Amino acid sequence: MSRARVLVIAGSDSSGGAGIQADLKTVSILGGFGMTAITALTAQNTTGVFGVLPIDPAFVIQQIDVCLSDIGFDAVKTGMLASVPLIEAIADALQRQVTQPVVVDPVMIAKSGAPLLADDAVGAVIRRMVPLATMLTPNLHEAERLTGRTIRTPDQIREAAQALLDLGAKAVVIKAGHRPEFEQDCFTDGRDWLTLPTKRIDTTRTHGTGCIFASAIATGLAQRMPLVDAVNRAKRFIQRAIEQALPFGAGRSPADPIA
């Protein structure tokens, strides 16, 4: 197989900056072959999310099944999962038939403030998705919601990362590099603990950064890179995508994996 195959299970962003659209751009530019199982359509632009249409869980599973039975994949990335029924169905499908690495980006709220996960679904993410994660990529807010902890210091980030390992994730990267009080991400696979320093970029062109980062890691794992190498490449990649982002729209422009 000459191209690493990545299945992305996530939501569509009509503005092209985040979600499935950002995932596919990222997988492609890093040399992988991307497939998609779309969980929800969103009507959004750079100023916000104006509508969300969840896809029927059985149809999401059908998208996964037909890709798996024909093309197959080397890694999976999950993003916006929207609701409890979608999480239950997707976790069942992954548990039943996927042995490849799974990168779980526990998407909850867009940077614009719009909810992308139902309020009652955090428990389902903890119970069903976290234990499936070869790699879990929460931001600080998501790490706080998943662990029930407040994170104010670097020590508390490490404690939260350990708590996420205890919940069943095989490895975790907590994204805090964009916050001036931290300026670093915290990675652990339970054996190694790494702090990944971040050059803080003062910009609002950051729409989709979480999606791009997790997809870049999934592509690396599909390409059989060691986890730490996949994370470091993803880190460099997202930094560049932020630096080279152009101003589109009146709101928060997308980071750009391609420009």
Q: Is 67 one of the annotated active-site residues of the chain?
A: no
- Rounded Cα–Cα distance for residues 116 and 208 (Å): 13
Are residues 174 and 143 in contact, defined by beta-carbon separation less than 8 angstroms?
yes
- Rounded Cα–Cα distance for residues 9 and 107 (Å): 12
φ, ψ of residue 106 in degrees (nearest 5): -80, 70
Which of 34, 54, 57, 79 binds ligand PLP (CB under 6 A)? It is 79
Residue 254: strand pairing partners: 207
Which of 13, 74, 142, 256 binds ligand PLP (CB under 6 A)? It is 13
x/- map, 210-249, ligand PLP, by CB under 6 A: xx--------------------------------------
Give the shortest CB-227-to-ligand PLP separation in angstroms. Answer: 21
Q: Is 206 one of the annotated active-site residues of the chain?
A: yes
Establish if 11 lies at the interface with ligand PLP (CB under 6 A). Answer: yes
Q: Is 31 one of the annotated active-site residues of the chain?
A: no
Establish if 10 lies at the interface with ligand PLP (CB under 6 A). Answer: yes
- Single out the segment in contact with ligand PLP by CB under 6 A; choices: 9-17, 83-91, 93-101, 120-128: 9-17
C-beta closer to ligand PLP: residue 11 or 101: 11
C-beta closer to ligand PLP: residue 53 or 71: 53
Q: Is 208 one of the annotated active-site residues of the chain?
A: yes
* Residues 85-124 within binding reach of ligand PLP (CB under 6 A): 107, 110-112, 116
Q: Is 209 one of the annotated active-site residues of the chain?
A: yes
C-beta closer to ligand PLP: residue 34 or 79: 79
* Residues 42-61 within binding reach of ligand PLP (CB under 6 A): 42
Number of residues located near ligand PLP, criterion CB under 6 A? 18
C-beta closer to ligand PLP: residue 42 or 198: 42
Task: Show the tokens assigned to 208.
Answer: 């989709």
Which of 103, 207, 219, 222 binds ligand PLP (CB under 6 A)? It is 207
Give the shortest CB-71-to-ligand PLP separation in angstroms. Answer: 23
Which one of the listed residues 11, 32, 210, 220 is annotated catalytic?
210
H/E/C letters for each residue in the chain? CCCCEEEEEEEEECCCCCHHHHHHHHHHHCCCEEEEEEEEEEEEECCEEEEEEECCHHHHHHHHHHHHHHCCCCEEEECCCECHHHHHHHHHHHHHHCCCCEEECCCCECCCCCECECHHHHHHHHHHHHHHCCEECCEHHHHHHHHCCCCCCHHHHHHHHHHHHHCCCCCEEEECCCCCCCCEEEEECCCCEEEEECCCCCCCCCECHHHHHHHHHHHHHHCCCCHHHHHHHHHHHHHHHHHCCCCCCCCCCECCCCC
Catalytic residues: 175, 206, 208-211
Task: Using CB under 6 A, list all residues that contact ligand PLP.
Answer: 10-11, 13, 18-19, 42, 79-80, 107, 110-112, 116, 207-211
